[in-house]
Chains A and B, each alone.
Chain A
Amino acid sequence: MEGFSVDLKTLKKQESKRKVSKGYMWALFCAVFWGIWYLPGTVVWVLNPFDEMYSAIAETSGDGMSLVITAVLITAFNALTVMLALMLWNGVLGKYGELGRTLKEFHPCSKWFFLASIFGGPMAILGSFIAMGFIGGAFAAVAGLLYPVVGSILAYYWYGEKISKRAAMGIAVIIVGGVTIFGGGLLTELSSGNVQWIGYLGGLMAAAGWGIEGAIAGKGLDISEPDAGLTLRFLGENIIWWIIIVPILAIVGFPMYSFALQAFEPLTLLVLIFAGITFGFCYVCWYKSFPLIGVGRGQGIGNLYGFCAIIFIFLFFGDVPQWTILVGGTLCIAGSFIMFTEDASALETLRGE
């Protein structure tokens, strides 16, 4: 009997370890897809009609405004192709039924995903583009890397998600690593003078937006299926862009529809679809990791996207990384190991008793 109970204990421990590894694996895949997304995300800006749109609006309304308006259209298309990728994903998994059932439960459930879409879309993604346009890419990346701080603090205080000292330390080391990766560029950008407050506001929007999105989504994910919840979150984002913001900008006088119609060119469509697939699956992995390892850990490991993006940009565009990237990358990996090696039994439930 003694031997049998020890056996059961071992089995339980193994099973719990498998569950936690699965959670970490999802979060790691999220980082990889997010990193790859920077390829189409960068390329799309120089493709028709977005490059023409940028110069056309810049002539009349100035560079800054033009950048934000073009970013809105790119983000809206990104949301659309993510939605297509997610519909395909749910179809393959046979989850349309669950999707419909979850959508109908607005009060207890889907309201959280619609709320998450407000913070994730117009706040985080647009904020990130604004930071990129007004200060620079490195600043935007560093600002974005701070989102797990917001996410884990909110999840801890709002619904008591457990964050061990070890997990907090891992998250902190990954953030320091990310800041080091983009450090050189960050200093150049900040010391170039002429830095506008709206760029900082964009950075703040990115960090706060993604952090709040994760915490809110975590609340919805308590009682819903991650694939269905995520699709509703992108349904919300599409409504915000295509039914609210794009028409408003068109009414104000920006040529939104004429440029939107020109996006249906083979190369542009291909890049947008690639963006949709990578961004969509990065989100699938992000949302699937939350119920297993919690919002704080999922976001901390997801932050390795900064390092992954540098690797993919190096591989595809040949941008040679500086030494700060090697130091930062090592810190990111060290931070992940600090988190991976946490005792799995501490993660049996993510909330305090």
Chain B
Amino acid sequence: MDTLRVLIVDDEDDFRETIVKRLKVRKVLAEGVASGIDALKVLETQDFDVIVLDVKMPKMDGIETLRHIKKLKPEIEVIMLTGHASVEFGIKGMQLGAFDYVMKPAPLNELLDTINQAYNKKRGLPH
């Protein structure tokens, strides 16, 4: 079985690093970047199965980053990370091709479940 590759895009350093750390111990090849621009840069050289994308980021927000990702690498599944009051961005993200959205703060298991479902979809497995 291939190892699941996940990119976490969030400008909250503590949050991003902690999630990456926790995913890594769960045998997920996780990496983190602090902005949409950095994410697009990384995608030029690396491939990922799933991207977890925060909606609210300075300069390039989650929705705009999603548009670029879907143009650049449409096969990658994207999960939007939204606040409770910005669910509409999650829905908008799904309209633009995101797999699902998860509301912050979410327990890690919920996030991991969604990541796995997205990964299954990408591999053509039931999700």
Q: Do A and B actually bind?
A: no
